[in-house]
Amino acid sequence: MVFSSGVFMFLFLPLLLIIYYSANSRKVRNYILLAASLMFYAWGEPVFVFIMLASVFVNWSLSLAMHKSPRPKLWLILAVSLDVFLLGVFKYAGFITENLGFERVNIALPIGISFFTFQTMSYVFDVYYGNSEPQRNPLYAALYISFFPQLIAGPIVRYNQIESEITGRVESLDLFSEGVRRFIYGLGKKVLLANFMAQVADNVFGYIVNPSVMMSWLGAVAYTFQIYFDFSGYSDMAIGLGLMFGFHFEENFSYPYMSSSITEFWRRWHISLSAWFRDYVYIPMGGSRVSRSRWLVNIFTVWLLTGIWHGANWTFILWGMIYFVLLVLERMTGRKPGHFLTMLAVILAWVIFRSETVTEGLGYIASMFGLKGNAFWDGGFMFYLNGTWPVMLCAFIGIFPAVKVLKRYSWLEAVFLCGVLIVSACELVSSSYNPFIYFNF
């Protein structure tokens, strides 16, 4: 089930809200959320919900043992090893066997496995480092991991961020209203912008043979918009849904396409993932307070793992290595490349990220610079541009904090949000094209 679907919008969410707010007990409300979250995940993959629950209860049990043990590090290693093994089997077994020369092993990938596995690992780490007390109630631990707003595509919610809210949160009308507002913004990003850009990007990347230079750039820019509005839109909806039930999730995006350096970009893009690797990998390895050679090893490890986390393909590894090189260059030179060069690098890196193979990605980049003997301009580009420029313009405005202007005029924002909700609902009813990029991760 996805947020931007008729089933969720008109059936699942309204019924859940009615049932949830009909209960007066905090414990009952938590169990309602847990049952609803498991139903949400099992909607399309009923078998994989047992794998997620097994992961939750294994990590919960090992964390309790770790908390009582005089040698907690052994329990930490065991828990992390099991989590990595789970990811390895379901996400990377085919990639590993194929690259070792064996017949590829094809195993169905549970949706959101990278997100819920990283959340279980963060729970274990928080208990190990003393940032949180272990949760005594296994069902509350399951609620933390499986809570449907952030279950399948983030943001990655750390246990110490919402530990107190599991039992002590306070719902209010103001919080609920802010949640609805945030959800509608995210819905509009996803349905009205990301889905449109996805069709343009899919056509250019997948169906147009030897596109012109300008057509190649159009496809790359469309994908750059698509992945931002797709993922940030989902994060907005997740944050909004959390607020409706009294939970506060931290921001996951902060207008990353306004960045003037790669370092700044990664402080603004997928903030929860960057913070996870910083706190649980980079800093424990020594961070930047080590020799230059050791620092290079640390940052290389983080970006290798970041690439691998996104998928079992050499394109993701190369994408991670591109950012490793760019970040090292920024650190070594002490200079910011500026907004233009930063976005140029980001767009080219997204091309590699989007491509099926490294060869395909490099070939597409070559066509963007006319290195494949392709024309600079053609009629196909004008056809696509005439049909896409209004949405492109809206997408361009959307990468800046323009909504802050609307917040100054509450009546204008209310009218705008009503319009976005109505148009989005109409689009959901009339269109079956509704992909989510990060469900693959």
Query: Catalytic amino acids?
Result: 310
CA-angle at 291, arms to 290 and 293, nearest 5°: 120
Nearest CA among 291, 268, 287 for reference residue 279: 287
Phi and psi (nearest 5°) for 208? -95, 115
Measure Cα distances from 157 to 68, 121, 166, 361, 380 in Å: 25, 11, 13, 32, 44
Nearest CA among 119, 48, 2 for reference residue 437: 2
Helices (H), 249-408: 262-268, 271-277, 292-310, 314-333, 339-354, 358-368, 379-398, 403-407
- Based on C-alpha coordinates, what's the Rg of the chain? 22
Residue 138 structure tokens: 């296994």
Q: Is 377 helix (H, G, I), strand (E, B) or coil?
A: coil
Contact 314, 357 (CB under 8 A): yes
Query: Can you tell me the distance from the alpha carbon of 224 to that of 372, in angstroms, rounded to the nearest whole number?
Result: 22
Q: How many CB atoms lie within 10 A of CB 440?
A: 14
Q: Is 198 helix (H, G, I), strand (E, B) or coil?
A: helix
DSSP state of 370: T
Burial group, residue 423, by CB count within 10 angstroms (0-12, 13-18, 19+):
middle
Contact 154, 191 (CB under 8 A): no
- CB-based contacts of 13, cutoff 8 Å, min separation 6: 241
Task: Spell out a b/e string for 404-420, using b for 16 or more CB atoms within 10 Å of the CB, else e.
Answer: eeeeeeeeebeebbeeb
Residue 440 structure tokens: 């693959």
Contact 115, 152 (CB under 8 A): yes
| DSSP code per residue over 183-194 | HHHHHHIIIIII
